[in-house]
Amino acid sequence: MGTENGRLKGKAALITGAGSGVGGAMTKLFALQGAKVAAIARREEGLKRWHNVENVLPIQADITKLEDINRMVDEAESHFGKLDILCNVAGIHDLLYPLDETTDELWDRVINTDLKAPFQICRKVIQGMMKQGSGVILNFGSIASVRGLHGPSYGAAKAGLIGMTLSIAVAYASKGIRCNLINSGGVNTQITEHSGGEVHPRGLKLFMDITGKLPVTWNCDPEDVAPTALFLCSDESKHINGAVVAVDGGMSAC
């Protein structure tokens, strides 16, 4: 995969959720812009697109398992010699289950995937970033962190990502490390299909009642999100740290 403009030339990145959706779009764009990318996905099927693609190292890993996290980061750092960029994109949905029907198992599954895993990945990757004195971390959040149109587990996980992002941004700025977050609106992906069940009808009705009244176009394609991620991970945004950037078509303004 040849480079177009080389905005990430010389950079090495690790992107979770790279098998499809936003993570896949980011992997493609980052590689086109000169980065060497460790593309992380839980399913081997999602990694097939990256086999024999220049600048992309496909790695199968389950980010809810600490041993997989350690292995994938070690493999990427060994292969590239460093990691300059970490993008925590992988996540699952709560399928709009309201509080009274949110089981402990559902809560744990969402929190472990959408909050605990990014925490553990950041903790692992930041060790190398501190040694080299530079690095960029980008977390992928959601409108659910600031609006109550999803279930409590997803909202809590995404709100937690904001708190973690701000903490990292402040604590490691002196080490040359930046940390920002994209707060996404609706993106046309298969996240609900990959989340282990059917959408809750009562939760879906509430969601559609709210979003149906919004005067903005709140959903987009993964390729519409990737350019903002590219900017936030490039040296062009070197003075942006601790930012929560809404990529939601104006959804959070309503």
- The structural domains of the chain, with segments of one domain joined by +, span 12-249
For residues 50 and 43, the answer to whether their CB atoms sit within 8 Å is no
For residues 63 and 113, the answer to whether their CB atoms sit within 8 Å is yes
Work out the number of other CB atoms within 10 angstroms of the CB of residue 239. Answer: 7
Beta strands 135-142 and 177-184 are: parallel
Q: Cα separation of 102 and 191, whole Å?
A: 18
Considering only CA atoms, give the Rg of the chain: 17
This prediction's pTM: 0.95
Query: If you write DSSP's letter for every residue of 116-185 in order, what string do you get?
Result: IHHHHHHHHHHHHHHHHT-EEEEEEEEGGGTSSSS-HHHHHHHHHHHHHHHHHHHHTGGGTEEEEEEEE-
Look-up of token digits 């809560």: 107
Q: Left, alpha or beta for 53 (phi > 0: left; psi -120 to 50: alpha)? A: beta
| Fold designation for 12-249 | Rossmann fold (3.40.50)
pLDDT tens for the 254 residues of the chain, in order: 544 579 999 999 999 999 999 999 999 999 999 999 999 999 999 899 999 999 999 999 999 999 999 999 999 999 999 999 999 999 999 999 999 999 999 999 999 999 999 999 999 999 999 999 999 999 999 999 999 999 999 999 999 999 999 999 999 999 999 999 999 999 988 765 666 778 999 999 999 999 999 999 999 999 999 999 999 999 999 999 999 999 999 999 99
Residues with catalytic annotation?
154
